[in-house]
Amino acid sequence: MKKIVILGAIAMSMLACNKTNPLIDQPQTPYGVPAFDQVRIEHYLPAFEEAIRQDKAGIDAIIANPEEPTFENTIVALDRNGALLSRVSGVFYNVLEADGNDEMDAIAEKVSPMLSELHSYFVLNDALFARVKAVYDQREQLDLTPEQMRLLTETYRGFVDNGANLPADKKERLKKINEELSLLSLQFGRNVVAETNSCQRFITDESQLAGLPDGAKAAAAEEAAAAGHPGEWLFTPKRTSFTPVLQYCENRELRKQLLMDYTTRANHDNDNDNKAVIIREMELRIEKAKLFGYDNAADYILKNCMAKDHQTVDAFLQSVWAPSLEAAKREAAELQKLLDKDLPGEKLQPWDWWYYAEKLHKAKYALDEEELRPYFELNNVRKGAFGVASKLFGLQFEPLTDMPVYNKEVEVFKVTDAAGELIGILYTDYFPRAGKRPGAWMNDIMSQYVDAEGIDHRPVIINVGNFNKPTAGNPSLLSMDDVETLFHEFGHALHGLLSRAHYKNLSGTNTPRDFVELPSQFMENYAYEPEVMKTYAFHYQTGEVIPDSLIQKINAAGKFNQGFVTTELLSASILDMDFHELTTAEGLDVNAFEAQSLEKMGMIPEIIVRYRPTFYNHIFTTGYEAGYYSYTWSAVLDADAFAAFKETGDLFDPATAARWRHLLEQGGTRDSHDLYLEFRGKEADPQYLLRRKGFIQ
């Protein structure tokens, strides 16, 4: 009776909107992209219900197959199952992150336990696992290609890692843990967005903004007017809003207020406080790890990464932390001298660092970041990134103006190779809005794979950012950090776009977390090369290419403040590991634990950790728990990989580019370590990273 009621409910929802639901019917669109322009809020829940129904039906069909389990009828069938769910999820979660609202949040909360239940139905299904294990046990007798063997072993490992071998009572507990964790993750992210959006500081006296560049003031004035406060200036905890104040504003108290607004988000005793969420997440993660026989969450999570265990990660982080911290201490001493001239007797504080670093930067290198912004117009920078891909791989990027999008600010490009063959579709969405979470990221809206008929389905990829919006007087002008971010996310996009895997679960960015940042960080190197800068850095008013003198200053200043940058990053990585090396969360006090972690690592008080726990989305929302170290791990790889090009004397050396493209095309079809060795011919050498940062000669 209960099953009939559930099916009846689904049937009623389908009757209501199946005929007009573009997520289910998949109307004809160019290149088969989602019909974003036709999707309405009422379409999502019925689409998820139908997609989950189809996914379960596919699983049941594999189990019910009377034939003996084979690679094709079990492993490949599983990889191809769930096509509608992949499509619906690709649309929904991208829009939720980039253009969400309260209604979307409510749907996510309803869908989360549904997806968690489906996940358990899949990975804890004894009959299904029996078929998978039957194929796995005879793997040496099967005539499989390396990619097929990888799919088989990864599929089997996925079941084991998700509890297939656990006894029934532990399986049931694991289901409950996963369901609760999925809801907590949503709550954590929702609280951060709510805190970010609710915190507004209006300035009524322009004299309080002395030193702030005109462009930043104009943007703040437009934000205030849009918020119903014409004639005032609005600042929020969004980086595009408060960063210019930290760098340039003479008002020390305003700098302090805005930095505290940013670093105390979701850490107040109100409805958006994330401390209790963190404690519960850690309780559940530790319990989950112990179900599998691990003492802590870190080792359970890391077993399939390149690093393998927390001891390896800890040793790696410490090897880079020591030289970084020493560099940061030297930098702090230099900044203290500048502060002494302005405010004798005052101690350098975190809200002073950016301000005096900018002064020192200008004094040492005669380089003012505001002098650079006019050369970094967003569209030109994007063209520069596209140009690098063209020179490396022969890719072409054609704007598509009549494509369905979820927001009018989204732009779309058709990506083809030198022969005109379709590589994929790239969406870009670069400006902040109320419903967009902070930061920048890449998503695959539709993954690449080859179907049963041999048709290669090309991917649909999106790059999302939070760069300065154009104002009435200026286009979107980027900082050098923004330029680096754009190149970084485009590197992720190339990893997804160039994929040539047969199976969707191995395609694109489906790689270990400490490898997935390699392609993105590799692309950052090109942003600073003079040869590349001259292809994108044009003054937005005069069209003048960036002068050699400015390029020389940028490169001369490349090692400036790297102690701060690296220490800020590594402290967040160590804090992440400290949380996930806990063997119990009993008595956990989030703020006290953070303080203990920072004291243990020797963090200097002039620097605040990049992500304080209550807004640390990477490890409490987006799946980077015990994984934030991967940015630095990948930095060692990317510096070594870029050296391979530099050693040839040609940034776009065809032979090296061909090997690099091959690495990107493989996705997760091969062991990541083996892929890198094949590209480079040797292990990555950390000296390239340390030299790039100026920590060694």
Radius of gyration of the chain (CA): 26
Residue 401 neighbours by CB under 8 Å, 6+ apart: 412
Instruction: Give the SS3 label for residue 472.
Output: coil
Band of the pLDDT at 446, cuts 50, 70, 90? very high
Which of left, alpha, beta for 546 (phi over 0: left; psi -120 to 50: alpha)?
A: beta
Band of the pLDDT at 256, cuts 50, 70, 90? very high
Which of left, alpha, beta for 103 (phi over 0: left; psi -120 to 50: alpha)?
A: alpha
Asked whether the predicted pLDDT for residue 12 surpasses 50, the reply is: no
Residue 287 neighbours by CB under 8 Å, 6+ apart: 173, 177
Cβ distance 374 to 539 under 8 Å?
Answer: yes
DSSP string, 139-194: GGGS---HHHHHHHHHHHHHHHHTTTTS-HHHHHHHHHHHHHHHHHHHHHHHHHHH
What domains are defined for the chain?
A: 2-123+125-165 (1.10.1370.40), 199-263 (no CATH)
Instruction: Give the SS3 label for residue 464.
Output: strand
**pLDDT score of 472:** 85
CA nearest neighbour of 441 among 266, 645, 189, 232: 189
CA 466 to chain centre: 13
Asked whether the predicted pLDDT for residue 16 surpasses 70, the reply is: no
Asked whether the predicted pLDDT for residue 17 surpasses 90, the reply is: no
**pLDDT score of 622:** 80
Q: What is the pLDDT of residues 490-522, one digit of tens each?
A: 999 999 999 999 999 999 999 998 999 999 999
Fill in the DSSP letter of residue 34. -
Asked whether the predicted pLDDT for residue 14 surpasses 80, the reply is: no
User: What is the average pLDDT across 404-408?
Assistant: 97
Band of the pLDDT at 13, cuts 50, 70, 90? very low
Provide the CB-side half-sphere exposure for 530 (13 A, CA). Answer: 10
Amino acid letter for position 531:
E
**pLDDT score of 369:** 81
Q: What is the pLDDT of residues 50-100, one digit of tens each?
A: 999 999 999 999 999 999 999 999 999 999 999 999 999 999 999 999 999
Cβ distance 469 to 408 under 8 Å?
Answer: no
How is residue 7 written in tokens? 């099916």
**pLDDT score of 36:** 97
Asked whether the predicted pLDDT for residue 5 surpasses 80, the reply is: no
Asked whether the predicted pLDDT for residue 18 surpasses 60, the reply is: no
Q: What is the pLDDT of residues 364-384, one digit of tens each?
A: 998 888 889 999 999 999 999
**Long-range contacts formed by 37-40: CB under 8 A, 24+ apart:** 37/404, 37/405, 37/406, 38/404, 39/91, 39/95, 39/406
Band of the pLDDT at 19, cuts 50, 70, 90? low
**pLDDT score of 149:** 97
What pTM was computed for the model?
0.86
DSSP string, 391-454: HHH--EEEEETT---SSTT-EEEEEE-TT--EEEEEEEE-S--TTSPSS-EEEEEE--EE-TT-
Band of the pLDDT at 473, cuts 50, 70, 90? confident
CA distances from 670 to 639, 662, 674 (A): 22, 11, 7
Band of the pLDDT at 4, cuts 50, 70, 90? very low
Q: What is the pLDDT of residues 411-436, one digit of tens each?
A: 999 999 999 999 999 999 999 998 99
User: What is the average pLDDT across 531-560?
Assistant: 94
Asked whether the predicted pLDDT for residue 6 surpasses 50, the reply is: no
How is residue 49 written in tokens? 């219900």
**pLDDT score of 10:** 35
Known catalytic residue: 489? yes
Band of the pLDDT at 697, cuts 50, 70, 90? confident
Band of the pLDDT at 9, cuts 50, 70, 90? very low
Asked whether the predicted pLDDT for residue 487 surpasses 90, the reply is: yes
DSSP string, 122-142: HHT-HHHHHHHHHHHHTGGGS
Count other Cβ atoms within 10 Å, centred on residue 659.
16
Asked whether the predicted pLDDT for residue 151 surpasses 90, the reply is: yes
Q: What is the pLDDT of residues 121-134, one digit of tens each?
A: 999 999 999 999 99
Residue 494 neighbours by CB under 8 Å, 6+ apart: 389, 393, 519, 523, 664
State the catalytic residue, choosing from 281, 489, 517, 594.
489
